[in-house]
Amino acid sequence: MTGEPVAADLAHALAAVVDEVRRVTVQVRTQAATVGAGVLWGRGLVITNAHVIRGDRAHVTLSDGETARARIVAHDPRRDLAALEFEPWRDRPLAAVRTSPPLRAGELVLAIGHPGGLVNAATLGIIHGAESGLERRPARWIRADVRLAPGFSGGPLADATGRLIGINAMMQGGLALAIPAAVVTAWLRRAHALVEA
Read off the pTM.
0.89
What residue ranges do the domains of the chain occupy? 20-94, 108-187
Condensed to tens digits (0 to 9), the pLDDT of residues 55-86 reads 778 999 999 999 999 999 999 999 999 999 99
Query: Strand locations in the chain, DSSP E?
Result: 25-30, 35-42, 45-48, 57-61, 67-76, 81-86, 108-113, 121-129, 142-144, 156-159, 164-172, 175-180
Looking at residue 143, its pLDDT comes to: 95
Is the fold of 20-94 the same as that of 108-187? yes
Residue 180 has pLDDT above 60, yes or no: yes
Looking at residue 57, its pLDDT comes to: 83
CATH no. of 20-94: 2.40.10.10
Portion of the chain with pLDDT greater than 90, in percent:
70
Catalytic residues: 51, 80, 153
Domain 108-187 in CATH 3.30.310.50? The answer is no
